[in-house]
Amino acid sequence: MPLPYQWQVHVEKWKSAMRRFFGGGDQQPRPKICPACGALVGISATRCHECGANLRFSLAALSKQVSGIFGEHEAPVTSALLMANLLMFGVSWMAVAAAGGGGGLSILWGMGGGTTYRLGASFGPAIFYGHEWWRLVTAMFLHGGLIHLGFNMMALMQFGPALEELYGSARYLFLYVVTGAFGFLVSAWFGNLSIGASGALLGLVGVMLAITSKRGGAYMRELKSRLITSVVILFVLGFSGMGMDNYAHGAGLVSGFVLGKLFADRQPMNAAERRTAYALGWLAGIVIVASLALMILHYRDPLPGQ
């Protein structure tokens, strides 16, 4: 059965991006754009004549190549986060099934337990006494069921692309990881066992609230009102005993608002700002990869109480 046209387009883009990433392809040589400062450079240039950035081995150049795999103009970080959450849900389901669970309707909202803990759920004693700090990051990619995953991914696709376009992919990834990790840090301090992307998503909402407080106009006032209403409803539901982690939500929201106030709500404008943004983005990316690696290394550790 042939793929739908839209997916065929995505597949061709990914193939093209992978060929460029590994130096393949048969495209004709053409002038390049410096990823650090945006200047037009020669076909055979290896260093930008304006800012001096290395066009092959700098963080800016590598970021451009990696982002191309997910679509340079289609919110690559948001796409990567969506894929990572879907992949981790698949891993969680297979792990739960291998442990003898995951049957019936439990896939909708009931994939917790020891397997989720092994895959990196946030838990206060493990983090503060076991020094398993990687759980603050891995917990962002775990969900308790399809319903939990579905709501969070809809929110990600609603807020993510616009903020990624506004701040740039690198700073957007940094905002997502920091607010999500801080949310779980506060939640863990109160001894909660928690998973889900909602702490980071509330961080994005906090960033948007900060933007609306810095910009005027009727649209910003309306957007702020709608965001506040949504947040109030979410916290009311959290206090109603529906199993939501208000600590992670609240901390993510506050940290997002603070970072939104500190960060200029625009793309980096010069070479220095781009270098800083790329450094923050790569730091966040390395933290994610390292956390997932530590989760794999500690997967077979005894469960608490064993």
Integer Cα distance of 166 and 169 in angstroms:
9
pLDDT score, position 15: 57
Lowest mean pLDDT across 88-102, 134-148, 257-271, 286-300: 88-102
Average pLDDT, rounded, for the chain: 82
Say whether pLDDT at 269 is over 90.
no
pTM of the full structure? 0.79
**Structural domains of the chain, ranges and CATH numbers in brackets:** 5-69 (no CATH), 76-297 (1.20.1540.10)
Say whether pLDDT at 153 is over 50.
yes
pLDDT score, position 98: 82
Active site residue 143: no
Q: How confident is the model at residue 13 (pLDDT cuts 50, 70, 90)?
A: low
Element (H, E) at 246: helix 246-262
Of residues 198, 213, 240, 255, which has the active-site annotation? 198
pLDDT score, position 220: 87
Integer Cα distance of 187 and 124 in angstroms:
8
Active site residue 249: yes
Q: Over the stretch 53-67, which tens digit does the pLDDT of each residue have?
A: 555 555 554 545 545
Instruction: Summarize the confidence of residues 9-38 as an average pLDDT.
Output: 54
Rg from Cα positions in the chain: 21
Phi, psi of 161 (to 5 degrees): -55, -40
Instruction: Summarize the confidence of residues 238-259 as an average pLDDT.
Output: 90
Integer Cα distance of 276 and 67 in angstroms:
17
Q: How confident is the model at residue 52 (pLDDT cuts 50, 70, 90)?
A: low
Q: How confident is the model at residue 97 (pLDDT cuts 50, 70, 90)?
A: confident
Query: What's 46's DSSP letter?
Result: S
Say whether pLDDT at 27 is over 50.
no
Say whether pLDDT at 293 is over 80.
yes
Q: Over the stretch 166-207, which tens digit does the pLDDT of each residue have?
A: 999 999 999 999 999 999 999 999 999 999 999 999 999 999
Contacts of 266 (CB under 8 A, 6+ apart): 166, 167
Of residues 249, 255, 291, 298, which has the active-site annotation? 249
pLDDT score, position 29: 56
